[in-house]
Amino acid sequence: MPELCAGTRRWSVPDGSNLLDALNQQGLNVPYSCRAGSCHACLVRCLEGAPDDARPDALSAAQRLHGWRLACQCRVSGDLRVAVFDPARDGQPAQVHSVDWLGDVLRLRLRLERALRYRAGQHLVLWLGPVARPYSLASLPGEDDGLEFHIDCRHSGAFRDRARGLKTGDWVGLGELSGGALHYDPDWQDRPLWLLAAGTGLAPLWGVAREALRQGHQAGITLLHVAHDAAGHYLAPTLRQTPGIDSVCVLHADLDAALANLRPASRQTLALLCGAPTFVERLARRLFIAGVPRNQVLADSFVEHA
């Protein structure tokens, strides 16, 4: 069996083992969200040996040259020595600028020591001590308030419990910035946009909607937000007061009726979806039935973690 080494730990794993699973079974707590090579939370650096990589195109040539791989996409086929991502060594620090509570959602704003180049809709891995989770950016490049994240704190968990205690002036580690599927293309200005989100999946679409407005989007923008209860529509007042966005708040219990009423205003309609995998799959099917071609649906799904 191949031998896997990480730090001072060395153990044997069955040939073909998923690298992410093998590391986490040893208690190394490599974060992940999508397991599809999109969130880039599970970065590890290969120091000796090379795993079988199912998604070599998911990282840049420069990252791969330096040994970085996405653990969720790799299988161990020979002896391998890796280093897990260390935010102090491999990332950059950010200071908490403000902490606001919107019901059970923590709106966290961070300031960086050096500028970060990003696009609306991308996501970053946040580190609080030894615990890390990927979160989508709700902010826009160039905004004075820094980087904004929406963290659902309804339930207890390792990351959420630490996040609840954050205060202005605290420091957070930042990991890898990744693209995801959600963005705004200037060529879309004359095409209607449907932005459909569940829970804090609203964060990146809120950023994309404002980026569209900033770039002078000409066609309509409909933003549908799904929550378990009225309190879950944490940005509803802001959405209602934003000119150019037709916002619709829907409860999960009423989602089927809302989906049945979906009718694209044009064959050029584009739909951007964000939420849990089951939510995204459900909406993608409904949009296809409603007449939106699959190549006009962009989706980013995430697995909730504690």
The closest alpha carbon to 235, from 97, 99, 98, 107, belongs to: 107
Q: Is the pLDDT of residue 131 over 90?
A: no
Looking at residues 278-295, what average pLDDT do you find? Answer: 92
Residue 304 pLDDT level (bands cut at 50, 70, 90): low
Instruction: Look at residue 305 in the predicted model and tell me its pLDDT.
Output: 59
What is the C-alpha to C-alpha distance for residues 34 and 116, in angstroms, rounded to an integer?
A: 23
What's the start-to-end Cα distance of the chain, in Å? 33
The closest alpha carbon to 19, from 65, 79, 60, belongs to: 79
Query: Is-contact 137 149, C-beta < 8 A?
Result: yes
**What's the DSSP call for residue 115?**
-
Residue 29 pLDDT level (bands cut at 50, 70, 90): confident
Q: Which two tokens stand for residue 223?
A: 């933003």
The amino acid sitting at 278 is: T
Instruction: Look at residue 38 in the predicted model and tell me its pLDDT.
Output: 78
pLDDT in tens, 231-273: 999 999 999 999 999 999 999 999 989 888 888 878 999 999 9
CATH of region 88-178 = 2.40.30.10
Spelled out in words, what is the top-level CATH class assigned to the domain 186-301?
alpha beta
Query: Is-contact 272 298, C-beta < 8 A?
Result: yes
Helix (H) or strand (E) holding 231: none
Query: Is-contact 219 189, C-beta < 8 A?
Result: yes
Query: Is-contact 110 96, C-beta < 8 A?
Result: yes
The CATH architecture of the domain made up of 3-85 is Roll (3.10)
pLDDT mean across residues, the chain: 92
Q: Would you list the domain boundaries of the chain?
A: 3-85, 88-178, 186-301
Half-sphere exposure of 44 (CA within 13 A, CB side): 35
Residue 177 pLDDT level (bands cut at 50, 70, 90): confident
The closest alpha carbon to 279, from 181, 198, 194, belongs to: 198
Instruction: Look at residue 138 in the predicted model and tell me its pLDDT.
Output: 97
The amino acid sitting at 241 is: Q
Looking at residues 45-66, what average pLDDT do you find? Answer: 93
